[in-house]
Amino acid sequence: MKSLTLTKSKILVAICNFLLTVCGCSLVTGGLLILFDSGRILLSRLLSSGPLASMPQPFLYYVAIGIISAGLIIIGIGIIGCWASCLHSYFLLTVYFLLIMAMLIGECAIYTISWVWPHCIGLDLNGDELTKTLQSNYGVSGQEQFTAAIDLTQAAFKCCGVVSANEYDTSLWRLQDLAPNKLSIPFTCCILNNFGEPQSYLNPNPRNATLCQALEFTRHEGFRHKKGCIEALEQWYKQQYVIFLVTGLVVVLVEFLVLLSIIFAFTKVCRYRQATKIDDDQLNINFPKIQENVYERRSPFTLRDSYATSSNSFKKTYGLADKT
């Protein structure tokens, strides 16, 4: 019965380790999917503010690297857990418990900060700040990544500018004649014939380029997008945010289950060792020493006395007397 209870605890730890390893593999797969999704990573450039805006790569690129790293660490911890569940080792269980606890605390801290104070880590979508950034960086040399992010947003969400297309009138792109052929708005603000193609923002094909660039409302009506992109960006940002938090919550719950299984295994291993020690003490019987003569110990007289008695009886029988 005791070994059966210990086996159940080991099975429970093994199941939780399997779930933890599955979560790690899922994180690695999800991180790789994000890493190879160039459009999603490029859009995250518009979410960064403060110090994150000056990083070489968009914010989601580093998030994908972090997710892959966390997944690999979780897989390694799961392997250690499977090893620990097969052995009755306090050391391995303690190391496993401390690793899970450290990762759980770190993840809870990251998720709490992301949930309560997202602006502290640069995750902030401010329309006014983004408008200023567009007017100062769009089309400027050295800001090709930001320019591509704006073009992708306008082509994918069928919008123009952050709040409206009028933002381009006072942008450096217009004031310094950086626009090719003196365009009034980028071609990605126009209604495109190649809409839906993955790379349409890099090579936009307007339905009517002349009417799209016309300044009169009656002429460009129906050939360019009017609404700004801020609402679509906020909706997209919320979707990514929810996916990130739900995934993190699932991982935290699995790690919490692993902690409970480790505690359960600790108690069962401890009881198993105590029960084994008691059984060994009961079987420890004091056997007689090999050097002792069992028959001599049990007899009321010694072997020498027996020999002396036999000698006297022999003398009396044959009438022998001791010579003086």
DSSP string across 261-282:
HHHHHHHHHHHHHHHHHHHHHH
Q: Return d(Cα 106, Cα 141) in angstroms, integer.
A: 40
Joined together, the tokens standing for residue 146 give: 């930001």
Q: CB of 284 within 8 A of CB of 43?
A: no
| Domain ranges across the chain | 2-124+232-274, 133-229
User: Pick from 230, 2, 44, 246: which is nearest to 52 by CA?
Assistant: 44
Cα 112 vs. chain centroid, distance in angstroms? 15
Q: Given its phi and psi angles, is residue 161 left (phi above 0), alpha (psi -120 to 50 degrees) or beta?
A: left
Six-digit token pair at 260?
């409970």
Q: Outline where 36-58 has alpha helix (H).
A: 38-43
Name the percent of the chain in helix, strand, coil, to the closest 5.
Answer: 70, 0, 25
Rounded-to-integer distance, Cα 53 and Cα 145, Å = 11
- Per the DSSP assignment, residues forming a β-bridge with 48 are 123
For every one of its 324 residues, what pLDDT tens digit does the chain have, with 9 covering 90 and above?
A: 444 465 766 777 778 788 888 888 999 999 999 999 988 999 888 876 555 667 788 888 988 999 999 999 988 888 887 777 676 666 777 787 888 888 888 888 887 877 777 665 556 677 888 898 899 999 898 889 999 999 999 999 999 999 988 899 889 998 887 887 788 899 999 999 888 788 888 889 898 888 898 888 878 888 898 889 999 998 998 888 888 888 888 888 888 888 787 777 667 666 655 656 555 555 554 444 444 454 444 445 444 454 455 555 545 554 544 444
Q: Tell me which residue of 132, 167, 158, 157 sits closest to 146, measured CA to CA.
A: 132
Q: Could you tell me which residues come within 8 angstroms of residue 220 by beta carbon, excluding any fewer than 6 positions away?
A: 211, 212, 213, 214
Q: Which two tokens stand for residue 115?
A: 């949930």
Q: Which two tokens stand for residue 149?
A: 């992010």
Phi, psi of 48 (to 5 degrees): -85, 140
